[in-house]
């Protein structure tokens, strides 16, 4: 009958199958049926027993046909074996695939197509399990499997983050009781700043020499490294610039880095985050860029076909990588286009540029009040220009 009586109140009690004890972390399920009437308790217990049998099947990976699934009565409050309350599994117990949460996430968060593809791929690689069968042990197995397949720790953590995100949605909607992916990421082997190295003086000269004759034949390959060297901007921030992003402030020539408007019709401007919006004065070494850019027609300064995700710099990133490895013979994998940004940061420190000015120039976000400086026009043009002139 699966009922027992305590102080006149009937309780549901059912042993957990031996093969599922490790998943549940206890040997039996017990909770109050909230009634003193035996007949009522018997009916509730019968219904609960069927529901828990369905739950056991789902934990083993066997889906229950939706028309046979028995929902848990909302009136029941689960208790653990030692008598302390824990929430019951109240969700409908038909099989709920992890992939089924993607549509909910897309509706709630409106992610980019690229992120949707990445999340979908991670779910597929995880074999799209029923969310009710995902335990901490299974999450660890996913993580170890990705590492064994050759994924880096950073990539593995990113995929785990996608799984955690979807399970978080399920938990927030009461579909599952907990999120076993929380805290499952591996510690990174290095600090983020160590993942890319700044260019050495010799490497800078090598790249400048290799691209010196490309101003007319390949303006993107000519200007983008030079712009990155003297502005510290990210590749996509620079590659998506339009002629209208040439802005003069207080007599100082500079570029606007923004996510407002479109690069070309149908391709929106993008930034890493809102704090990346800013205006950056041009160093005197870029005076020729201003003249060149002013002579270009309205629209993108470096026209290119965007990839399927709307990323305008994807193709250039690959071309630049080949230039580094095959032409410049720079084989160090930690040196890439982003290394210009690290070099710019080092140059700012060497020139004693204050942290708030450096953050404003590079579009970094800081905690507290200083975090507002990276948002755009927060600092006077003369302050930013003076700092850049010292580099």
Calculate mean pLDDT across residues 123-136: 90
Q: What is the CA radius of gyration of the chain?
A: 29
pLDDT of residue 25: 75
Q: Between these two residues, 49 and 243, which has the higher pLDDT value? A: 243
At 195 the pLDDT is: 62
Burial class of residue 6 in the structure, from the number of CB atoms within 10 Å of its CB (0-12 exposed, 13-18 middle, 19+ buried): exposed
Contact 15, 6 (CB under 8 A): no
Domains in the chain (CATH in brackets) are 3-79 (no CATH), 98-188 (1.10.150.130), 194-389 (1.10.443.10)
Give the integer Cα–Cα distance in Å for 301 and 294.
9
Query: What local confidence, expressed as pLDDT, does residue 369 receive?
Result: 37
Between 251 and 112, the higher pLDDT residue: 251
Q: Once rounded to an integer, what is the mean pLDDT over residues 186-198?
A: 67
- What digits encode the pLDDT tens for the residues 154-163? 889 999 999 9
- Is the CB of residue 12 less than 8 Å from the CB of residue 30? yes
Whether residue 371 has pLDDT greater than 80: no
Lowest mean pLDDT: which of 7-16, 222-231, 233-242? 7-16
| Range scoring the smallest mean pLDDT among 42-56, 87-101, 239-253, 377-391 | 87-101
Distance CA 89, CA 77 (A): 10
Judge whether residue 77 has pLDDT over 80.
no
Task: Mean pLDDT check: name the lowest of 7-11, 55-59, 321-325, 368-372.
Answer: 368-372
pLDDT in tens, 268-301: 898 888 788 999 999 999 999 999 999 999 999 9
Q: What is the percent of the chain where pLDDT is above 90?
A: 43
* Per-residue b or e along 223-246, where b marks 16 or more CB atoms closer than 10 Å to that residue's CB: bbbbbbbbbbbbbbbbbbbbeebb
pLDDT band for position 72 (50/70/90)?
A: very low
Q: Which letter does DSSP use for residue 382 in this model?
A: H
Comparing 1-5, 247-251, 310-314, 370-374, the range with the smallest average pLDDT is 370-374
pLDDT exceeds 90 at position 347: yes
């Amino acid at each position: 009958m699966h009922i027992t009586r305590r102080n006149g109140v009937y309780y549901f009690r059912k042993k957990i199958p031996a093969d599922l004890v490790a998943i549940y972390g206890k040997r039996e399920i017990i909770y109050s049926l909230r009634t003193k009437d035996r007949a009522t308790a018997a009916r509730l217990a019968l219904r609960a027993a069927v529901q828990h049998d369905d739950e056991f099947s789902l934990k083993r990976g066997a889906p229950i046909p939706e028309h046979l699934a028995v929902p848990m009565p909302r009136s029941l409050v689960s208790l653990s074996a030692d008598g302390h309350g824990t929430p019951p599994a109240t969700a409908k117990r038909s099989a709920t695939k992890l992939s089924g949460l993607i549509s909910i996430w897309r509706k709630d968060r409106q992610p980019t197509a690229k992120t949707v593809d990445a999340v979908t791929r991670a779910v597929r690689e995880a074999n799209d399990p029923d969310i009710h069968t995902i335990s901490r042990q299974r999450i660890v197995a996913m993580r170890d499997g990705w590492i064994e397949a050759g994924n880096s720790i950073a990539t593995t953590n990113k995929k785990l983050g996608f799984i955690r995100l979807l399970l978080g949605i399920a938990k927030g909607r009461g579909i599952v009781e907990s999120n076993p992916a929380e805290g499952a990421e591996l510690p990174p082997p290095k600090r983020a700043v160590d993942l890319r190295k700044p260019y050495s003086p010799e490497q800078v000269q090598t790249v400048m020499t290799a691209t010196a004759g490309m101003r007319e034949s390949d303006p993107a390959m000519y200007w983008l490294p030079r712009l990155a060297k003297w502005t510290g901007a990210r590749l996509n921030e620079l590659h998506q610039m339009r002629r209208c992003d040439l802005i003069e402030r207080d007599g100082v020539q500079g570029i606007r880095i923004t996510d407002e408007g479109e690069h070309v019709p149908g391709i929106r401007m993008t930034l890493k985050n809102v704090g990346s919006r800013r205006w950056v004065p041009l160093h005197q070494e870029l005076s020729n860029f201003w003249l060149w850019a002013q002579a270009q027609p309205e629209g993108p300064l470096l026209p290119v076909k965007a990839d399927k995700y709307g990323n305008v710099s994807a193709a250039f990133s690959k071309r630049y990588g080949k230039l580094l490895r095959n032409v410049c013979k720079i084989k160090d994998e930690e040196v890439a286009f982003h290394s210009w940004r690290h070099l710019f940061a080092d140059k700012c420190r060497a020139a004693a540029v204050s942290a708030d000015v450096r953050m404003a120039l590079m579009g970094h976000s800081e905690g507290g009040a200083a975090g507002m400086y990276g948002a755009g026009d927060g600092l006077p043009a003369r302050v930013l220009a003076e700092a850049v002139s010292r580099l």
